């Protein structure tokens, strides 16, 4: 168990009109983690809203940047530097166009796949932080991306979104433990619970027994 605190930043845009947008799924995730694990209330810090708590025995800071998505690095960078956290102790939850709706993947480092929030954080801190990518699907053409991510999840989307956000909150202690495969597996199991085994039909007893 590491003594280094973990910073989990969920990305989104501030304000009620953005609250249910696909781009705000990171905010949704950290809100769910905070509620599930009884974090302290979110308070203004580092150009964002921050809540403190403990996951799996590790001190965790949850951050929602209030800088708007495209300059998320201002808030996340400020928090990471002030708290003197190495990049290995920074995790960012964000929407991912290149993953099918409802899919979740965790990776460390790499490119930003056109995500402006991730690009801003990379510019501020470097690329080697952890990314928890929540698939929202792609609208089909580059021209449609802007309006797609800045639009509410559909009613059909909520059928996978609500269970997924709940599963992320449940599995968050694995993330704090640095067990990325365990985190992804726990989410997958919760979102798609195994089917109960089929019961064998009762054998027909011969007459007279």
Locate 119 and state its tokens: 């690009």
Catalytic-labelled residue, pool 21, 23, 94, 115: 23
Q: Answer yes or no: are the C-beta atoms of 151 and 22 closer than 8 Å.
A: yes
Active site residue 138: no
**160: which residues sit within 8 A by CB, 6+ positions away?**
101, 102, 191
The residues that are catalytic are: 23
């Amino acid at each position: 168990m590491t003594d280094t605190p973990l910073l989990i930043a969920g990305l989104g845009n501030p304000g009620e009109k953005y609250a249910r947008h696909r781009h705000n799924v990171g905010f949704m995730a950290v809100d769910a983690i905070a509620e599930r694990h009884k974090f302290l209330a979110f308070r203004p810090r580092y150009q964002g809203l921050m809540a403190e708590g403990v996951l799996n025995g590790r001190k965790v800071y949850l951050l929602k940047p209030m800088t708007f998505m495209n300059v998320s690095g201002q808030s996340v960078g400020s928090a990471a530097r002030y708290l003197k956290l190495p990049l290995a102790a920074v995790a960012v939850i964000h929407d991912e166009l290149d993953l099918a709706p409802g899919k979740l993947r965790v990776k460390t480092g790499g490119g930003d796949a056109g995500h402006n929030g991730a690009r801003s954080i990379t510019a501020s801190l470097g690329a080697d932080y952890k990314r928890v990518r929540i698939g929202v699907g792609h609208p089909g053409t580059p021209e449609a991306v802007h309006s797609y991510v800045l639009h509410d999840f559909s009613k059909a989307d909520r059928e996978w979104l609500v269970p997924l956000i709940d599963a992320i909150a449940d599995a968050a202690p694995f993330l704090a433990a640095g067990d990325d495969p365990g985190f992804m597996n726990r989410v997958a199991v919760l979102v798609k619970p195994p089917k109960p085994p089929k019961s064998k039909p009762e054998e027909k007893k011969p007459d007279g027994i």
